[in-house]
């Protein structure tokens, strides 16, 4: 066998092995998207009910709360960026990071200092490499977040919003995550979580009916302030939980797509390499035939000359 064919055959073999791996990863990611989507759906009744309750308190009482009131001139903001722990997901993490960069720039242009909070090893590595300061980071749960994880993320954020901005607290809380639009589309979005925007209350977040109806006058137990105190942190936690779940679903979808194109690419490579190997084999055969024919005719010529 010619040296050329051997090289082609070897490359085809390695690419076939790689293709098997990417194919397996694609199928794993595909099955995890479904699971992640189910988790998003399972968490939505809680989020919807909580949104309704927050809306009821916010419209049904005149209570002021640090989590709902806008600062006169906000000077510090916190940005929570949600990325993945693992790579091989195409542009998933870098798109989210870019969206966070844009938001950070915009906030800086408005004269606000920005504290970065990061979920996921990829985002942390990006900031670490550029030696940017990270206020706090969490890793290890990006592909299947639990409510306890969301709580762990939310607690320091809520604390810093409640703290005075002179003492390292922040006036605003933004969150950047990748929204799961459909199996094929995931887009990075930035949302302001706190202070709650009025329009946000009226629209009631995602998935709530918007028909205008008279709000019932609630009796608060123990008091409007007490309810709000307990309700708002839960609301923030549930929004962060929802963002984490959507980001996880998006991560799996992005990974599935990246692995699908890797598999397709491997197939193309195998196809073109097989063609090249076939051509090389044919060239070898042709050469051998012409050598035999040439040798035979040379022999015939020599015999003819001696006669």
Partner 1 sequence: MAEIHVEVVAADRSIWSGEAAMVIARTMSGDIGIMPSHEPVLGVLQSGPVTVRTSEGGTVVVAVHGGFLSFADNKLSILAEIAELAEEIDVARAERALERSRSESDAGAERRAEVRLAAAAGAH
CB 98 within 8 A of CB 188: yes
Residues near partner 1 (CB under 8 A) are 39, 42-43, 45-46, 49-50, 52-53, 56-57, 146-147, 151, 216-222, 226-227, 230-231, 234, 237-238, 241
Q: How far is the CB of 191 from partner 1 (least distance, A)?
A: 19
Q: How far is the CB of 65 from partner 1 (least distance, A)?
A: 14
Distances 135 to 64, 153, 173, 267 between C-alpha atoms, Å = 28, 12, 13, 45
- Nearer Cβ to partner 1 (244/259): 244
Q: How far is the CB of 266 from partner 1 (least distance, A)?
A: 38
- Nearer Cβ to partner 1 (230/296): 230
Question: Which tokens go with 87?
Answer: 């790579």
Q: Give the separation between CA 44 and CA 245, rounded to whole angstroms.
A: 11
Q: Give the separation between CA 86 and CA 283, rounded to whole angstroms.
A: 46
Q: How far is the CB of 147 from partner 1 (least distance, A)?
A: 4
CB 186 within 8 A of CB 176: no
Q: How far is the CB of 140 from partner 1 (least distance, A)?
A: 18
- Nearer Cβ to partner 1 (189/218): 218
- Nearer Cβ to partner 1 (29/227): 227
Q: Give the separation between CA 213 and CA 164, rounded to whole angstroms.
A: 37
Q: Which residue(s) pair with 187 in the sheet?
A: 179
- Nearer Cβ to partner 1 (40/273): 40
- Nearer Cβ to partner 1 (37/238): 238
Q: How far is the CB of 34 from partner 1 (least distance, A)?
A: 16
- Nearer Cβ to partner 1 (39/186): 39
DSSP 35: H
Residue from 280, 286, 291 nearest 9 by CA: 280
- Nearer Cβ to partner 1 (35/108): 35
Q: How far is the CB of 93 from partner 1 (least distance, A)?
A: 25
Q: How far is the CB of 25 from partner 1 (least distance, A)?
A: 27
- Phi, psi dihedral angles at 77 (to 5 degrees): -135, 150
Q: Give the separation between CA 156 and CA 175, rounded to whole angstroms.
A: 14
Contacts for 206-210: CB closer than 8 Å, 24+ residues apart: 206/47, 206/242, 207/44, 207/47, 207/48, 208/48, 208/51, 208/52
The per-residue b/e assignment along 255-272, b for 16 or more CB within 10 angstroms, e otherwise, is bbbbbbebbeebeebbee
Q: Give the separation between CA 120 and CA 74, rounded to whole angstroms.
A: 28
């Amino acid at each position: 066998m010619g040296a050329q064919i051997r090289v082609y055959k070897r490359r085809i073999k390695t690419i076939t092995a790689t293709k098997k791996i990417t194919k397996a990863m694609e199928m794993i990611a595909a099955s995890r998207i479904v699971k992640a989507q189910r988790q998003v759906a399972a968490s939505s009744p809680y989020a919807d009910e909580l949104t309704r309750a927050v809306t009821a308190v916010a419209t049904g009482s005149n209570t002021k709360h640090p989590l709902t009131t806008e600062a006169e001139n906000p000077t510090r903001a916190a940005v929570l960026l949600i990325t993945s722990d693992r790579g091989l997901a195409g542009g998933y993490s870098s798109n989210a990071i870019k969206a966070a960069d844009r938001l950070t720039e915009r906030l800086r242009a408005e004269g606000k200092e920005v504290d970065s909070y990061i979920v996921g090893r990829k985002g942390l590595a990006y900031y670490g490499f550029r030696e940017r300061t990270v206020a706090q980071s969490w890793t290890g749960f990006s592909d299947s977040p639990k409510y306890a994880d969301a709580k762990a993320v939310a607690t320091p954020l809520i604390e810093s919003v409640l703290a005075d901005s002179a003492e390292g607290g922040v006036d605003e809380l933004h969150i950047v995550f990748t929204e799961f639009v459909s199996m094929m589309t995931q887009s990075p979005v930035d949302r302001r979580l706190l202070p709650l925007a009025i329009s946000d209350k009226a629209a009631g977040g995602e998935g709530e009916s918007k028909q205008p109806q008279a709000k019932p006058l609630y009796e608060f137990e123990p008091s409007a302030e007490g309810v709000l105190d307990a309700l708002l942190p839960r609301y923030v936690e549930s929004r962060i939980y929802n963002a984490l779940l959507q980001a996880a679903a998006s991560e799996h979808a992005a990974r599935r797509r990246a692995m699908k194109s890797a598999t397709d690419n491997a197939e193309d490579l195998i196809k073109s390499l097989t063609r090249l190997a076939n051509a090389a084999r044919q060239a070898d055969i042709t050469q051998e035939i012409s050598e035999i024919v040439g040798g035979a005719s040379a022999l015939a010529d020599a015999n003819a000359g001696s006669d």
